[in-house]
Structures are given as structure tokens and as C-alpha cells.
């Protein structure tokens, strides 16, 4: 069971397999007199953050089934004043009106920026509108790639899957981080600067000239959740040898549970 974090009540809380999830329509500002999703500025209630979940579970395994909830678990302790809602965009849930939330977290995905899925182009337009309106954004893995690609850079497939724990240098400090990807950003978009990298990934973290930042790694993955996902799809979604190497790197790594959470919270409060 996830540790519950005290914050303003979201009436859409429910629990699925021990993982706390919030749904979009019912989370509302206390005192608003409405639970129909009507937006109120954060000064009238809690900060509202939407997690745009772009991940589907891996076939019939249950791997990656709770990505949105894992992101919430990662960032919620750093934002006790916030109300989080998970929008399952990959399952067909519509994108919100930009001003409906105070900030957005863009999740990872099994897709690449070059894949044609129904939500890809609308999400690109949504990100451009967020930039124009200076709405805070935090991108994770695919979210990192899509933000860069949308804002004038480029992301592409560059190698076989990299899975496990890798060491990134972030603002001059070496940090272990969990990764699972084969694409990465290869051209930095205008208005962005690199603030983190790995020996195999020159563009590991990007800071933007509006309240936004993104990272190639997965801060929401715990040692247990990443190891479990590898085990669930071994021989199907990941080769046994790569899986063994990944599991060894996870055992040997030391990834902080709150990796980049304070930075994400800072940006989502509009201070990036």
C-alpha cells in the first residue's frame, strides 16, 4: 500500500491493487460548490496538477498498469498543497482545457515521437499551447522526448533498449536513476538548455525558458516496481540477457525515492 500523503481532499480517490489513483472529473476545490470539473484559480483552493498518462499495460502481464499512480506517489510528498488527477490519454481520455489545471506531468510511453497514434498530434498541439500560455510542464522519458521534438528539437531511436540503473550528472552532481528507453533527444530545442546527461545520453535533462523541465530517466520507478516489470515481460518485451543485466544494475544502484521531485514541484508551482 502506498503511503498516503496529507493534502487537500480529492473526492475521486480510489484504490486499485494497493495503488492510489485519482480520476479527473470529481477532484474539485473545496468550497467551490461543484464537482463537475469547473476550474478555479489556485488561490481559491489547492494547486491542481494533471498527470497525463500515456502508458498502456504490457499485453496481459499487468506491467506498467499503474504508471500514473507511481508518478503521483513520487511527486506528492514534495507538493502537499496539491490535488493530483490522472488522465489516461493513452486509453482515449480527452485532453483537458489548458487552464483547467495549474500544471501538467507528461508520462513515459511505449510509443516513440514518430509513431502514429490518435492522441499524438492533439498532444503536440496541447504542449505548444501550454508553452504559449506558460503553463508548467514536467516531462518523463517519452514526455521528455515529445516536449523536445514538439518545441523544435529532435528525438529518435538511437540504440537498443537501455534498461536498469544508469548514472546521470545533474547540475554537476552524479545521481543514479532508473531508465527504460531506446529513443532519446538528439537535437536540443530552442529555448532549452541541458542540465543533465549520462555517458550514453548527452541530453538527459532539459530546462526551458518557461516553467518546464524534462528528464530522460524515470524518477517514479522504484527498485521493486522496475524489477517487477522486468520479470513480468522477460522473454516477451525484453530479452533475457538484457533483463539479467538490468536487474543486476538495479541491485547495485542507489536511486533516491525523491529524485528530482523537489525540482518538479518547483516548476509545477510556476517558478521554473
3-class DSSP state for residue 163?
A: strand
CA–CA distance, 4 with 7 (Å, rounded to integer): 9
3-class DSSP state for residue 224?
A: helix
Which of 10, 27, 141, 201 is catalytic? The answer is: 141
Is 178 noted as a catalytic residue in this protein? no
- Cβ contacts of 157 within 8 Å, gap of 6 or more: 112, 114, 182, 183
CA–CA distance, 144 with 19 (Å, rounded to integer): 25
* Phi, psi (rounded to 5 degrees) for 236: -120, -60
Residues in the chain: 272
Is 72 noted as a catalytic residue in this protein? no
CA–CA distance, 158 with 9 (Å, rounded to integer): 43
* Phi, psi (rounded to 5 degrees) for 256: -70, 135
Using the structure block, give the residue that is written with the C-alpha cell 506498467. 64
- Cβ contacts of 66 within 8 Å, gap of 6 or more: 16, 17, 19, 21
Instruction: Tally the C-alpha atoms within 13 A of residue 241's C-alpha that lie toward its C-beta.
Output: 1
Task: Identify the sign of the CA torsion 25, 29, 32, 33.
Answer: positive
Helix 223-233 vs helix 240-252: angle between axes, to the nearest 10 degrees? 170
Q: Would you please indicate which residues are annotated as catalytic (active-site) residues? A: 141, 218, 220
Amino acid at each position: 500500500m502506498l503511503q498516503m500523503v496529507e493534502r487537500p481532499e480529492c473526492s475521486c480517490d480510489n484504490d486499485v491493487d494497493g495503488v492510489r489513483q485519482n480520476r479527473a472529473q470529481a477532484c474539485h476545490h473545496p468550497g467551490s460548490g461543484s464537482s463537475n470539473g469547473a476550474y478555479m484559480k489556485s488561490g481559491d483552493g489547492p494547486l491542481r496538477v494533471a498527470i497525463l498518462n500515456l502508458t498502456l499495460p504490457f499485453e496481459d502481464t499487468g506491467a506498467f498498469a499503474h504508471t500514473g499512480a507511481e508518478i503521483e506517489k513520487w511527486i506528492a510528498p514534495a507538493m502537499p498543497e496539491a490535488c493530483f488527477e490522472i488522465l489516461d490519454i493513452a486509453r482515449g481520455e480527452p485532453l483537458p482545457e489548458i487552464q483547467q489545471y495549474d500544471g501538467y506531468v507528461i508520462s513515459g510511453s511505449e510509443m516513440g515521437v514518430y509513431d502514429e497514434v490518435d492522441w499524438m498530434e492533439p498532444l503536440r498541439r496541447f504542449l505548444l499551447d501550454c508553452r504559449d500560455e506558460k503553463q508548467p510542464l514536467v516531462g518523463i522519458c517519452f514526455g521528455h522526448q515529445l516536449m523536445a521534438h514538439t518545441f523544435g528539437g529532435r528525438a529518435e531511436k538511437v540504440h537498443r533498449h537501455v534498461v536498469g540503473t544508469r548514472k546521470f550528472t545533474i547540475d554537476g552532481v552524479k545521481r543514479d536513476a532508473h531508465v527504460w528507453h531506446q529513443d532519446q533527444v538528439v537535437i536540443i530545442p530552442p529555448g532549452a538548455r541541458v542540465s543533465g546527461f549520462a555517458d550514453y545520453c548527452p541530453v538527459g535533462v532539459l530546462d526551458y525558458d518557461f516553467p518546464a523541465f524534462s528528464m530522460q530517466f524515470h524518477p517514479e520507478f522504484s527498485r521493486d516496481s522496475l524489477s517487477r516489470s522486468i520479470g513480468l515481460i522477460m522473454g516477451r518485451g525484453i530479452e533475457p540477457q538484457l533483463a539479467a543485466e538490468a536487474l543486476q544494475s538495479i541491485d547495485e544502484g542507489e536511486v533516491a525515492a525523491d529524485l528530482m521531485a523537489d525540482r518538479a514541484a518547483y516548476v509545477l508551482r510556476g517558478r521554473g
